[in-house]
Amino acid sequence: MSSVLNKLFTKYLFVTNTLATGGLLALGDCITQKMETAYARQQDQDLVPGKYTHNWGRTGRMFTIGVMLGPFNHLWYTKIIEKIVKTGGKQGAVKRILADQAIAGPFFCFSFFFGMGMMEGRGVDGALQEVKDKFLTVYVIDWFVWPPAQFINFYFLPKKFRVVYVSCLTLIWNTFLSWYKHREIAHKHEV
C-alpha cells in the first residue's frame, strides 16, 4: 500500500492532483445535492416518490471543471508559486498566501463559474453574466477561508502534498461552491 501511495505522490503526482481536483468537486456536489434534497423534502408536503433525484449531469459537470482546473492547480502549488516566492519560513508562507489570493483565487473563481456556465449551455454572455453575479461574493468569502488554511499548507507541508491538502479542504469549499452556484435551483423547490 505504501508503494502505491508513494507512486501516486511522486511518479503520478500530476494525474493524482488532477483527478483529486475533479473528484472532490464532484463529491462536494453530491453532498450539496443530498442536503438540497433533504431540505426540499422537509418543505414539501406532497411527497411524490422519485420527485427528488440526483442530477448526475450536474455532478459530471463539476467533475469535468475540476479535471480542467486540475493541471493548473498542480502546476500552481508544486511549481509556479515556488518560482514567484523564493522566501522560506513564515514570511514566505505569508507571501505565498498573498500570491495565492491575488492570482490563483481569482483565476479559479472565474474559471469555475465561467466553465460551468459554458458547460450548462449558457454561452459566453450567459457564463460571463454568472461570473458577474457570483464572483465577488465568493471571492470575498474566499479571503476569510483560505489564508488560514494556506498558512498550514505553505508553512508546514512539503510541495508534493499541497494539492491533496488543498483538495481535501476544498471538499468543504466545493460543497459551498456547488450550493452557491446552484442555489436558485434549490430555491425552486420552495415555491
Give the per-residue pLDDT at 131. 96
Give the per-residue pLDDT at 39. 83
Report how far residue 11's alpha carbon sits from residue 15's, in angstroms, rounded to the nearest whole number.
9
What is the per-residue DSSP string for 51-120? SS---HHHHHHHHHHHHHHHHHHHHIIIIIHHHH----HHHHHHHHHHHIIIIIHHHHHHHHHHHHHHHT
Q: How many helices (H) and strands (E) are present in the chain, helices listed first? A: 8, 0
pLDDT mean for each 10 residues of the chain (191 residues): 76 89 92 88 71 90 95 91 93 96 95 96 96 95 94 89 80 88 62 39
**pTM over the 0.85 mark:** no
| Other beta carbons less than 10 A from residue 173's beta carbon | 21
Give the per-residue pLDDT at 187. 45
CA max distance for the chain: 61
Give the per-residue pLDDT at 151. 95
Q: Provide the residue count of the chain.
A: 191
- Placement of cell 449551455 in the chain: 121
Report how far residue 149's alpha carbon sits from residue 180's, in angstroms, rounded to the nearest whole number.
21
